[in-house]
Structure 1
């Protein structure tokens, strides 16, 4: 193939090794070139949302094939993937949503080349290597489906206020504290449709993107840590209160996003704004519950302690288990402090619930 006169030499940085893997994946015949058929396979694959007609695929090929060879070499492939005219094709709505609320890497100019040929790399891999749509993020979706199914079953019995047959088994009942599963399973039952919908919306719109970056097991740990902390703290501060709903886990997810912002402060766009938004939402909700209970004397039975404890657990566990895009010395110390503090609080809460018998009904 004739040498290109206007091609850009692309050094094999770590970010380019990512594109090399993609290139190799679709170079089915291993000839070092992407043909029209192979390009169409890329566009039609599950990574991309739009199923484009053949004439549009041909136009993309013509636009990307700078030397009119009928094939795309690796340099042409990388330039095509970064072409601003093609971003709507090689990006999808899920990726845009995830990028908007998960920290992105700051590009570092690694050359002194002219602006048009500047190569960008990253200090710890590209963000595209951090999240994935496959395998799909299903943990929060599965939990949400279970919550909906259990609510619908009780609703079919005419019980929607956490007083149905399922709710009676799973709700946190202070008089049945010896049934230890209730400290977790109360998250599966809800008091009314609004209570259910609010929790579903938050845990899906925050939990699913977290799973796509940090993997399902890390997000599940954060979620369950918030649920457990919520029930343990409530049992100690409000020993006569019943608990229902996933608010402890939901607040853990909100706080986990705050943990992500803290641990990736320099890598995150609009970090201050996002931090203030999450803190404002949590503060308004907890503050309203406290005000209604102690100043307006409204008996709403809102477990605000579960909200607050879930948020603290989500923050500490989030710092401990969620992936950190770039580790610094102070972050390592913060990691140890978060892990030790969470473990200490949980041990204290469990021991108090076991041995402080005079505190409970």
Structure 2
């Protein structure tokens, strides 16, 4: 193991404080073999867990190990581990641990604890991981995938509008809309999301997908959000084709509802890492309840016949929830979350495969093809 000389060392007091217990929890988490030491391999796992776009080269990990391994034993004991986390030269690598550490010891508003080592400080009422999710928000890489999709939708709509066709009858719409008579053109099961019927339809979808998609992307990165969005779009068209085989389908509502449900998924999977998780969950459940309630009221009490694809909305939401559980980041994995992950993945693929096979082989259910 390469070694280097250092001019100064950082002394870290290790009295039995709350912050020390925090570092002990982190240390035990990455001490995979429970031998009381962090090996080179285990150190590399800590660094890789930061989820860099490109992992640090092995020589960099070796230098970090040499810098922190004061006794040149080839391992980091607990004292060396804590010192490494506080080393100013390594903040760029371990900044996320330090951010959690700072959050865990900053006094919160609450009743004053007048006894013990925290005398004079306000008691901390949250857990060590509260707020960890919020610390993961970042503007780099920039969250632009939903912005780009929105721009494409605007450009295509404007192209049809230039031909005086804003009712999904323009050249672009005719090429991309889901047409039950042209189901063999498989791209239509996805590209109908680029077609909108009128300015209001377009603006509503744009606003929701930007306000919900961009924050998701800032934590979970673009490719995860795109997977959720497209899963909702595909599920919306597959479900609609089976429940209402003669309907035409346009709009990004399946993807939009997938983003709504994905927020619920990430709240469930990161419950203990979120601040005010219960409030966030209630807000999204309230939005879903209002939408469903409005649809039921309009359909069965006001007897309004609207050209709204509620099945696509529902299927998009189910796909967003299942795929969100499967692909969005889970900051602290627990046993029940792993079981939930497997259940979501299996259920999603079961439903999707069943929908695809039904669309291929249940030919009597669909109108004649004109392809």
Smaller-chain TM-score bracket: 0.5 to 0.7
Which of 229, 235, 246 is the equivalent residue of 1:229? Answer: 235
- 1:234-253, Cα deviation, whole Å (9 max, x unpaired): 00111111111100000000
Which of 353, 359, 366 is the equivalent residue of 1:360? Answer: 366
- Please state whether the residue corresponding to 2:247 is helix, strand or coil: coil
Q: Any gaps of 5 or more consecutive residues in structure 2?
A: 1-12, 28-45, 51-86, 107-115
Which of 133, 139, 145 is the equivalent residue of 2:151? Answer: 145
Aligned to 1:183: 189
Aligned to 2:31: none
Aligned to 1:260: 266
User: Which one is further off, 329-338 or 106-115?
Assistant: 106-115
- Asked whether the equivalents of residues 222 and 256 of structure 1 are also in contact (C-alpha less than 8 Å), the reply is yes
- Please state whether the residue corresponding to 1:280 is helix, strand or coil: helix
Is 1:277 aligned with 2:283? yes
Structure 2 Cα separation of the partners of residues 281 and 106 of structure 1: 34
Is 1:170 aligned with 2:176? yes
Structure 1 Cα separation of the partners of residues 14 and 196 of structure 2: 59
Pairwise CA RMSD:
3.9
Aligned to 1:29: none
Which of 136, 143, 165 is the equivalent residue of 1:159? Answer: 165
Which of 223, 246, 251 is the equivalent residue of 2:252? Answer: 246
Q: CA deviation at 1:175?
A: 1.1
Aligned to 2:303: 297
- Please state whether the residue corresponding to 1:266 is helix, strand or coil: helix
Structure 2 Cα separation of the partners of residues 246 and 320 of structure 1: 22
Q: CA deviation at 1:264?
A: 1.2
Q: Any gaps of 5 or more consecutive residues in structure 1?
A: 1-6, 22-72, 82-103
What is the TM-score normalised by the length of structure 2?
0.66
Structure 2 Cα separation of the partners of residues 129 and 186 of structure 1: 36
Aligned to 1:202: 208
Structure 2 Cα separation of the partners of residues 206 and 125 of structure 1: 19
Structure 2 Cα separation of the partners of residues 105 and 210 of structure 1: 24
Structure 1 Cα separation of the partners of residues 103 and 152 of structure 2: 41
Figure out how many residues of one structure are paired with residues of the other and give that number: 279
User: Which one is further off, 107-116 or 129-138?
Assistant: 107-116
- Asked whether the equivalents of residues 105 and 267 of structure 1 are also in contact (C-alpha less than 8 Å), the reply is no
- Please state whether the residue corresponding to 2:329 is helix, strand or coil: coil
Q: CA deviation at 1:108?
A: 4.0
